[in-house]
Amino acid sequence: MTAAVETAQTTTIHGDRVSLLRVLGPAHVWALGVGIVLVGEFTGWNFSADKGGALAALIVCWVVGLLYTSVAMIDSEVTSTVAAAGGQYAQAKHIVGPLMAFNVALFLVFAYTMLEVSDAILLGDTIVAKAGVEGLTHNSFIAATIVVLAWLNYRGVLMTLNVNFVITAIAYVSIVILFFSVSPWTQGAVLKLNELVTPANALPYGWIGVIAAFQFGIWYYLGIEGTTQAAEEVRSPARSLPYGTMAGMITLLIAAAMTWYVCASLMPWEYLGITYYPLWDAGKLTGSPLLENLLFIATLLAALASANGCINDAARAWFSLGRDRYLPSWFSAVHPKYRTPYRSILFLLPIALAFAFIADLNQAITFSILSGVLQYTFMSINIMMFRKKWPLGSIRRGYTHPFHPLPAIVLFCLCMVTFFAIFLGFGSQLIAMTVFYFLISLWFHFYRYKFVRRGDQFSMPWPKPQGY
Amino acid sequence: MARYTPPEQSKAGQILDIAVVVVAIFVALWLPLKLGFAGAAKSIDPLDAKTWDALGQNATMASIWEKLGYTPETAHDIIQNRFHYIIDWPTLIIMAIVLIAYFVFLFRASDKEYREVINEKFDDK
């Protein structure tokens, strides 16, 4: 038994010790990660074309892919060693301290809840656009999506992720089918890349546009780190988490490249930059009703899979905060029959519904991206502290990532570039959210922390960290 | 080191804390929307001549716009709606200060709390 497995924690309900169920394998980890992220190919990434042009969207696809490869490498090492529900939250608790853990959990909850909101808006808008019925609004579709998926999550993690595996696989295959259906090896017949992306319009804002495009380039992959949220429900965390996460990253890099190539070869960058459903539009522009309908269904499935995974992840981060008394312990209840963090699921449900009705798609996406980038900044510093406090050989690691500290440095630098990218166009929103995190941190440090049991925050069977 | 025993929180206290968190979430996410802070800083650069040529669209691009149901008039506000990347230095400096101050506080306060955790965890043994 690995050290990680030994740390599965329990919650007391009516006098009984109840824990989350260890039922998941690598395929579920892949489905959780890719399921959350794949919707980024169906909407969101294309807003990077709006900020910098079609070529900028391709450049950030690969450079941000490097950022996420660093995230996946770092995350795989830390999570395979600190395998507990809450993922990066549990890592922060053991490596940096309670306040950082509190913030990281909030980053996770906001990133995933706003991603869920974006998914629901996308789904609603796609159905309304397909129906073409005057007066039909997306509200009922949004509400139904969020409520039904919350119910599914309430009923159990295995069923939730089995559903995710199937719908994610269908959505992914649809991108592959679209790619091979448009004869990607020839230009002129269906694809017209060199007529749509010309030297004159490839980078309409110059290189500053490429930097600005980083903001939505994040959307190609945002959420892959969510695989770690299932750490306490995976049968073999040391094997399944690195394998599932890295396989997910490879899958997404391929999907992102195919998506850019097809979309940039089928529509002008100005339209690509503002459409809510670039792949569905690509399907339409091929002139094939079969592809159009396939991509319509795949867009809905990708949004469903993502929202489903987001509810799963946000609820687990919130649950962890309650279990450690960083928030009222009421949230730490595990359902006695379904063994899910049901109160956290129910608590986050109206918040998601409220924002789905007051925010539009790119605002919700920006909220999610901001929290994500704050989290990645933490991760780059966290791995340096982890290696310093417990050097290689001092504790058993499920996986050790190569080239340290290069991935951490790359990740940190790319996060700084992304902050600057968000500043270019969305600076006020960035400042407003950072001020919020600052104020809530003061609330935690000077008030809420008194309810926290100090020694209980360190549950790993590790030696004392070096330097303490 | 003596083991710290946290106070038990009353139900009313728990409800109050939940309310604080809910209000904070809505203020953080809703207020920027309400105040117009959220969303892209874009504006339209209007053109007098609304033709595909004037909009910088070649024949292939124009045919795709038309396939998507647009005319030069309806596409004008999409094509000419642009970002204007002018670096506002005071805002950039404020953003950098807020971010750095936040992270410095986060790591320093976390370290103080972490030392309490480590002392209690390991000094008990």
Could you write out the three-class secondary structure of A61-124? HHHHHHHHHHHHHHHHHHHHHCCCCCCHHHHHHHHCCHHHHHHHHHHHHHHHHHHHHHHHHHHH
CA pair distance A339, A332, nearest whole angstrom: 12
Question: Which one, of A401, A458, A434, lies nearest residue A91 by Cα?
Answer: A458
Burial B57-79 (b: 16+ CB within 10 A, else e): bbeebbebbeebebebeebbebb
What does the block give as tokens for B124?
């008990």
Cβ of residue A450 closer than 8 Å to a chain B Cβ: yes
Q: By the 8 A CB rule, do A266 and A67 touch? A: no
Residues of B in contact with A362 (CB under 8 A): 39-40
In chain A, which residue's Cα lies nearest the Cα of B62? A268
Cβ of residue A401 closer than 8 Å to a chain B Cβ: no
Q: By the 8 A CB rule, do A36 and A168 touch? A: no
In chain A, which residue's Cα lies nearest the Cα of B104? A438
Find where tokens 């490249």 sit.
Answer: A257
In chain B, which residue's Cα lies nearest the Cα of A441? B106
The overall average pLDDT reported for chain A is 88
Among A95, A96, A265, A270, the strongest candidate for a mutation testing the B interface, having the largest count of B CBs within 10 A, is: A270
State the Cα torsion A36-A18-A347-B26 to the nearest 10°.
-80
Among A318, A424, A452, A456, the strongest candidate for a mutation testing the B interface, having the largest count of B CBs within 10 A, is: A424
pLDDT at A67 over 50: yes
pLDDT at B125 over 70: no
CA angle at residue A337 from A331 to A338, to 5 degrees? 70
- Residue A25 confidence class, pLDDT cut points 50, 70, 90: confident
Return the higher-pLDDT residue of B64 and A15: B64
Contact flag B29-A97 (C-beta cutoff 8 Å) = no
- Residue A277 confidence class, pLDDT cut points 50, 70, 90: very high
Cβ of residue A116 closer than 8 Å to a chain B Cβ: no
**How high is the pLDDT of residue B34?**
76
What is the least distance, in Å, from the CA of A195 to any CA of chain B? 7
Residues of A in contact with B25 (CB under 8 A): 110, 351
CA angle at residue A118 from A116 to A120, to 5 degrees? 70
Cβ of residue A448 closer than 8 Å to a chain B Cβ: yes
In which region does residue B71 sit, left (phi positive, over 0), alpha (psi from -120 to 50) or beta (all else)? beta
Q: Residue B125: CB partners within 8 Å, gap ≥ 6?
A: none
Question: How many CB atoms within 10 Å of residue A66?
Answer: 14
Contact flag B83-A205 (C-beta cutoff 8 Å) = yes
What is the least distance, in Å, from the CA of B89 to any CA of chain A? 11
Q: How many CB pairs under 8 A join A and B?
A: 209
**How high is the pLDDT of residue A84?**
66
Residues of A in contact with B118 (CB under 8 A): 458, 464-465, 468
Contact flag A98-B3 (C-beta cutoff 8 Å) = no
Contact flag B68-A200 (C-beta cutoff 8 Å) = no
Query: How buried is A395 (Cβ within 10 angstroms: 0-12 exposed, 13-18 middle, 19+ buried)?
Result: middle
CATH 1.20.1740.10 holds for A26-457: yes
Among B15, B22, B83, the strongest candidate for a mutation testing the A interface, having the largest count of A CBs within 10 A, is: B83
**How high is the pLDDT of residue A14?**
43
**How high is the pLDDT of residue A3?**
36
Ordered DSSP codes for A340-368:
S-HHHHHHHHHHHHHHHHHS-HHHHHHHH
Cα→Cα distances A94→A88, A169, A390, A412, B121, Å: 10, 35, 11, 21, 11
Query: How buried is B91 (Cβ within 10 angstroms: 0-12 exposed, 13-18 middle, 19+ buried)?
Result: middle
Query: How buried is A438 (Cβ within 10 angstroms: 0-12 exposed, 13-18 middle, 19+ buried)?
Result: middle
pLDDT at A78 over 80: yes
What does the block give as tokens for A42?
């169906």
CA pair distance A84, A79, nearest whole angstrom: 8
CA pair distance A215, A365, nearest whole angstrom: 10
pLDDT at A35 over 60: yes
Find where tokens 């104020």 sit.
Answer: A439
Q: By the 8 A CB rule, do A404 and A387 touch? A: yes
Q: pLDDT for B40-89, tens place per residue? A: 678 899 999 999 999 999 999 999 999 999 999 999 999 999 998 888 89
Q: pLDDT for A188-225, tens place per residue? A: 889 999 999 999 999 999 999 999 999 899 888 888 88
**How high is the pLDDT of residue B1?**
61
Burial B92-122 (b: 16+ CB within 10 A, else e): eeebeebbeebbeebbebbeebbebbbbbbe
Q: pLDDT for A223-236, tens place per residue? A: 888 777 676 777 77
In chain B, which residue's Cα lies nearest the Cα of A357? B30
Residues of B in contact with A96 (CB under 8 A): 107, 110-111, 114
**Residue A321: its H or E element:** helix A289-323
Contact flag B18-A330 (C-beta cutoff 8 Å) = yes
pLDDT at A10 over 70: no
Residues of A in contact with B14 (CB under 8 A): 328-330
What is the least distance, in Å, from the CA of A302 to any CA of chain B? 23
CA pair distance B80, B42, nearest whole angstrom: 10
Q: pLDDT for A401-450, tens place per residue? A: 999 999 999 999 999 999 998 888 778 778 888 888 999 999 999 999 99
